[in-house]
Amino acid sequence: MLQIAICDDIPAYQQIIQSEIEKVLKLSHKITFFFTGKEFLEKLSEGKCPYQIVFMDIDFGTENISGISIAKKISAVNPMTQIIFISQYLEFASDVYETAHVYFIIKNRLSELLGKALNTALSKLSEVQKQHLYFRTKQGLQKVDIHKIWYMEKNLRNTFLFTASETFQTPQKIEGLLEQLPPYFVICHRSYAVNLQVVQSVQRTELKLPDGTSLPIGRSHYEEVKRALSLLILQKN
C-alpha cells in the first residue's frame, strides 16, 4: 500500500490535496495528515519515514521551522521518499532547490498541477525501488542493489542483510526496510524476511536459498509467502 503524508497547517488545503489525490490515484493508498512541522518531526524522531510520497508546505506561519528543513531531514532518514513542495508564495520556488524534491506547486494551481506532480513522484519512486535499498550503518548511509539481497534477519536490536558475498548490519527494523522494497520481499518468519526471487524451493516449514541456506517459514506467515510467490510467478509469465 502506498503511504502518503500531507503536511500543511491549513485544513482547507489538506482537503483539496486529498480530493485531487483521490481523483487521479488508482493504487491502494493511505493518507496521513500533519498540521504542523513539529508534528511531522516527531514522526521522524522515531528514526524512520514510512511515507513514499510527502506533500510538504514550506511556510508554517508562526512555527520557527520550514518545510525545506524538514525535507532535508526526510531525505536523510529515507532517501526514497518523494517530496512535493506546496506553497502560497512563489518566492519560495528557488529555495526548494536546497534539497531533493520532485515538484513545486503554487497552491492556487493545485487542481491543475497535482496530478502531474503525483505521476512524476510515482515514476521516480518506481525507478528508485527497482535499484537500491538505502539504510543506516555505523559508517553512515549505505545502499545496496536490491537484486543482490537474499534475506534479512532480525537479531536483538539490529537487522542483518545478506547478499551472496556480503553482510550488512543496520539498527533499522525489518518492517521499515520492507517499506522500501518490492512485494516479492516478504516476512517468512518473525525473525526473517526473504527475497522470493532467489528462493530455490519452498516447503511448508522452510525455504531454500541458492547456497543451500534454509530459512524457516512461520505458521502464521505461510499463506502470505504462498500468495507473494504466486504473484511473482504470474508476473514472470
d(CA 163, CA 149): 5
Find, among 195, 196, 214, 194, the residue nearest to 206 by Cα.
Answer: 214
The pLDDT of residue 24? 86
- Beta strands in the chain, from DSSP E residues, in sequence order: 2-7, 29-34, 53-57, 82-87, 103-106, 132-137, 140-145, 149-155, 158-163, 167-170, 185-189, 192-195, 201-202, 206-208, 214-216
d(CA 114, CA 195): 34
Element (DSSP H or E) covering residue 205: none
Q: What would the grid cell of residue 175 be?
A: 518492517
Dihedral sign for Cα atoms in the order 119, 120, 125, 126 = positive
Q: What would the grid cell of residue 157 be?
A: 536490536
The pLDDT of residue 43? 83
* Whole-number Cα distances in Å, 101 to 120, 121, 127, 159, 179: 11, 9, 15, 29, 19
Q: What would the grid cell of residue 19 be?
A: 480530493
Domains, the chain, ordered by start:
2-129 (3.40.50.2300), 133-236 (2.40.50.1020)
The pLDDT of residue 1? 74
- Stretches where the chain sits below pLDDT 50 are none
The pLDDT of residue 2? 83
Q: What would the grid cell of residue 106 be?
A: 503554487
- pTM for this structure? 0.59
Inter-residue contact 19 to 111 (CB < 8 Å): no
pLDDT in tens, 168-184: 999 999 998 988 788 78
